């Protein structure tokens, strides 16, 4: 084990992770009681004995918005000057018309549902979230706005990091092996645009496999093998053995 590697252990609420003095990077999931560090959820506790840091990867949980997160949401309500958007968080998010349209609106003259109506999909960034009210999202920015084509895959928000991988390795693998255009949103929704239906199916299956096996090491290699096998099965590539 390299000295830079943290050791990981599967823990449940109330379980002691370790003792001593550490810096806790995930304060909601690790609490200190009587000199011992205790887990508060089911997940993987990461203990780095060198940097003396403790972090936590929850295996279950809802999406808690953070400012600057990219999220994919569904419009659930249309107001006079804003839309309410479901971003799979405990709170619905607000998208102001002046933000989306880039200009003020006159509610007396304009009906917002002509721009975005219930059921429409948007990609946005979390602009404000201070817990005193629901998050405010913005579509000002490159690649943000209404989604007109593609398929959305949903996974548990706590597994998103695995779909991206260390330094983006898993994300690059998925894009490279399938040729699909993938946008991974922090709230567990993934927008994919694929050259054909078979590749889309393979990608969705791969994403769900990542979600299921997120906690088992060696995932990146397994996913690569899986995608290749599926492509062979569907006759998309010839069966010339496994990749090295």
CB of 74 to other proteins, least distance (A): 16
Spacing of C-alpha 156 from chain mean position: 8
Q: In whole angstroms, how close is the CB of 158 to other proteins at the nearest point?
A: 7
- Is the CB of 148 or the CB of 216 nearer to other proteins? 216
CA-angle at 156, arms to 28 and 130, nearest 5°: 45
* CB of 112 vs other proteins, minimal distance in Å: 21
Nearest to other proteins of 74, 91 (CB atom): 91
* Closest to other proteins by CB, 32 or 146: 32
Binding site for other proteins (CB under 8 A): 10, 12-16, 28-29, 31, 33, 38, 40-42, 58-62, 64, 90-92, 131-134, 158, 209, 212-213, 215-216, 222
Nearer to other proteins, 8 or 146 (CB): 8
Rounded least distance, CB 59 to other proteins, Å? 6
Pairing, β 70-78 against β 151-154: unpaired
| Of 79, 108, 111, 119, residue with least CA distance to 95 | 79
Q: Whole-number minimum distance, CB 32 to other proteins, in Å?
A: 12
Q: What is the dihedral of CA 22, 26, 27, 32, to 10 degrees?
A: -40
Q: What is the β-pairing status of strands 151-154 and 93-96?
A: unpaired
Which residue number, 44 or 173, has a Cβ lying nearer to other proteins? 44
Task: Indicate the residue among 16 and 98 with the shorter CB distance to other proteins.
Answer: 16
- Cα 234 from chain centre: 29
Contacts of 139 (CB under 8 A, 6+ apart): 95, 99, 100, 122, 123, 124, 125, 145, 146
CA 187 – CA 110 distance, rounded (Å)? 31
The distance of closest approach from Cβ of residue 111 to other proteins in the complex, given in angstroms and rounded to an integer, is 25
Contact 193, 206 (CB under 8 A): no
């Amino acid at each position: 084990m390299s000295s830079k590697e943290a050791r990981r252990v599967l823990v449940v609420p109330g379980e002691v992770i370790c003792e001593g003095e550490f810096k806790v990077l995930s304060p909601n999931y690790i609490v200190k009681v009587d000199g011992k560090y205790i887990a508060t959820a089911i997940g993987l506790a990461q203990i780095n004995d060198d940097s003396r840091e403790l972090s936590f990867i929850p295996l279950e949980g809802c999406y808690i918005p953070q400012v600057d997160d990219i999220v994919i949401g569904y419009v659930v309500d249309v107001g006079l000057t804003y839309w309410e958007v479901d971003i799979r968080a405990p709170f619905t998010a607000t998208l102001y018309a002046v933000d989306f349209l880039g200009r003020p609106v006159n509610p007396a003259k304009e009906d917002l549902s002509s721009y975005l109506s219930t059921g429409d999909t948007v990609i946005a960034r979390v602009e404000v979230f201070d817990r005193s009210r629901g998050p405010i999202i913005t579509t000002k920015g490159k690649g943000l706005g209404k989604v007109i084509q593609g398929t959305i895959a949903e996974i548990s928000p706590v597994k998103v990091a695995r779909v991206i991988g260390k330094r983006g390795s898993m994300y690059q693998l998925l894009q490279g092996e399938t040729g699909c255009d993938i946008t991974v949103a922090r709230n567990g929704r993934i927008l994919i645009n694929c050259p054909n239906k078979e590749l889309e199916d393979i990608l969705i299956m791969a994403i769900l496999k990542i979600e299921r096996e997120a906690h088992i090491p060696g995932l990146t290699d397994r996913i690569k093998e899986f995608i290749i096998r599926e492509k062979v099965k569907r006759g998309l590539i010839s069966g010339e053995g496994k990749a090295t």
